[in-house]
Amino acid sequence: MQINWTAFSIFIIFFLFVAVLGFVAARWRRGDLSHLEEWGLAGRRFGTLITWFLVGGDLYTAYTFIAVPGLMYGKGALGFYAVPYTTVVYPIFLLILPRFWSVARAKGYVTASDFVQGRYGDRLLSFAVALTGIVATIPYIALQLTGMQAVITAMGIPGSWPLIIAFIILALFAYTSGLRAPAMIAIVKDLMIYITIIVAVILIPIKLGGFGHIFHASAAALAKHHPPGSIALSPKLYATYGTLALGSALALFLYPHAVTGVFSASSRRVVKRNMALLPAYSFALGIIALLGYMALAAGVHTKSSSEAVPLLFLKEFPTWFAGFGFAAIGIGALVPAAIMSIASANLFTRNIYKAFFVRNASNEHEARVAKIVSLIIILLALVFILGFPQQYAISMQQVGGILILQTLPTVVFGLFTRWFHRRGLFLGWLVGIVLGILMWASTGYQSTSYTVGGVTAYAGIWALIVNIVVALVLSGIFQAMGLSNGEDETTPADYRVDAEASV
């Protein structure tokens, strides 16, 4: 394949622009970046607008542009589960995140594991939540690499060196500027994505003869796939579709990067406003998902579903605008990958390194370790993407979801009650993790769905149900035995704390 120099040149211009922004961001809303709270949470000073861009840029990623339409292109209607999942997630977490933000602000918590340690006084349970967050995030970062890799391949660039260079730059500006870098870049990224979506939803249907033709042609193309797909969901997939949507929704704000974005807000009211405003991204996601059908209708042929949208752009857009769209996807990979690496580094430093190795680490020592670990996390994600066997990039997010869902009883239930026993929660987590991995392994690591009693559903939900049952039963037993449930350093007032919103 020849290099498409026009598209590549436009891509490079925008990529270099945001790279410069990433380094300049260290001086934006200046703070002491030698302290973890400043480097990893930007001093908790982001108001409604910046938080909206940051959390939106954090959650709507290369996953949005590559993986979701890729699944629509390969399997049809099943891929649309991402739209209801990103719709129901906000009313659910409107009840949870303001309370989470308040207790984190009151006690100076930087991570979800900080809260677990404070709530239960249990380093082992805190460690379990931290380790799960880090491991679940690595495939999510790898998913961003898949998006970057797809556009690089579409432009005809040979080898992996452009991907490696891009993520070296990412690692350096994350190291230098901390959370301020992805927050600043997210503004540019989101504007570019919205421009690309608006042009795509107007131009491509006009060129393809309208949505009626798109649906008809994509239905015919899906019927020829092996196994066949469909634009209408088969009844036998109802349980899979519903549990994928529910499981993904419950998991979304348990991920370390989502927690980091929320904790960086300046007030409880900012968090509430964002739960009301973020569904605007879900509307855009619904349109983006249809790009998979547009690729089928346009006659795009590829063995890798991740390449469907880039090839569609090359076929239907002017070359220069395809380059602009590729830049939007590429930058859409950088923003969340930076936040994910920072969030994972926060977890490792606070809840593993400091908790078990250097308990008296200074603020400067903490920040220095976190910066180094953020580089290592990105390196691990690069290794992961080279060896991951899945055809559909979205499977990476689903695998991470299986793991992170098992922290829900400890974190979410813990925000509202102390009834659950810390040992019951730990053993429930352990059973859920092992069971979820075994379900995935039983499919030859090819599917995150598992059949129980004739019902095929998302393995993360099956594992979570068992997790909760184990935690319930064992908590009752341990309480009856009079086993200590640890010390709770939080007070009821901590869960209602607010602060003045930043401009």
What's the pLDDT tens digit per position in 352-386?
999 999 988 888 999 999 999 998 988 887 777 66
Helix (H) or strand (E) run with residue 208 in it: helix 180-208
pLDDT at 501: 41
- 376: containing domain: 5-391
Is the confidence at residue 52, as pLDDT, over 60?
yes
Closest by CA to 219, choosing from 78, 343, 47, 77, is 77
Number of domains in the chain: 1
Q: Note whether residue 479 is domain-resident.
A: no
CA gap 398, 443 in Å, rounded: 14
Q: What is the largest CA-CA distance in the chain?
A: 71
Q: Note whether residue 493 is domain-resident.
A: no
Q: Note whether residue 499 is domain-resident.
A: no
Higher pLDDT, 117 or 194: 117
Whole-prediction pTM: 0.91
Q: Note whether residue 441 is domain-resident.
A: no
Residue 57 CA: distances (Å) to CA of 165, 191, 258, 352, 483: 22, 10, 10, 28, 44
Residue 157 CA: distances (Å) to CA of 18, 55, 62, 152, 421: 21, 31, 19, 6, 54
**245 residue type, one letter:** A
pLDDT at 387: 62
Q: Note whether residue 473 is domain-resident.
A: no
Q: Note whether residue 199 is domain-resident.
A: yes
Is the confidence at residue 392, as pLDDT, over 50?
no
Q: Note whether residue 238 is domain-resident.
A: yes
CATH number at 94 reads 1.20.1730.10
Tokens of 210: 């309208």
Is the confidence at residue 167, as pLDDT, over 70?
yes
pLDDT at 63: 65
CA gap 486, 489 in Å, rounded: 10
3-state helix, strand, coil in the chain (%, to 5): 75, 0, 20
> What number is the average pLDDT over the span 133-161?
82
pLDDT at 469: 98
Task: Give the confidence band of 448 by pLDDT, cuts at 50, 70, 90.
Answer: confident
pLDDT at 397: 67
Q: Note whether residue 423 is domain-resident.
A: no
pLDDT at 428: 98
